[in-house]
Amino acid sequence: MTDPADRPILSWPDPRLRQRAESVGAVTPEIRALAEEMLRIMYAAPGRGLAGPQIGEMRRIFVMDCGWKEGTPTPRVMIDPEIAGASADTITRTEGCLSLPGIPADVARPAEVTLRFTTLDGTQVEERFTGFEATCVQHERDHLDGVLCIDYLDAAARAALDPALAALGPV
């Protein structure tokens, strides 16, 4: 695959960030190489998650590592992920996004989610996520449907971000 410096992270308002990604299907050597490349790009950014559409790969895959900045890296790859369940309880966190550099958004999301996904070895699993990992899973999963964290803001909060969004480029 290409060097991370050769594959930029797309910034808003790139229209690819608003498109629904296609299913990956079978885990092939190409998909494994894509996952490795995505992890390199994410760590270099430095971020905690990265979805395929953020680098122009319109496939349903994301990578994440919620704790690497505080300790040992624990990279995760989720292929064709679907939310299988979510708690009624919500939590609001300030989310950052590599495609919205310097634009934090306070987003309320379910405090716990169950994600069904395929791993790099082709195994289908279902896993429950809580805390910051639950937020990250939902944030990255949204990218696969063309949804950004700013889409959850009310009109006043979104209007407050409009000058920063305009600085990223014309819509």
Three-class SS state of 17 = helix
In 3-state terms, what secondary structure has residue 79?
A: strand
Buried b (16+ CB within 10 A) or exposed e, 87-103: eeeebebebbbbbbeeb
**Token reading at 149:** 């964290």
Catalytic residue among 37, 57, 95, 140: 140
> Cα–Cα distances in Å, from 45 out to 55, 95, 134, 166, 170?
12, 16, 21, 22, 23
Is 161 buried (19+), middle (13-18) or exposed (0-12) by CB count in 10 A?
A: middle
Q: Which of 16, 31, 10, 7 is nearest to 118 (CA)?
A: 31
Let me know if 133 is a catalytic residue: no
What are the residue numbers of the active site?
140
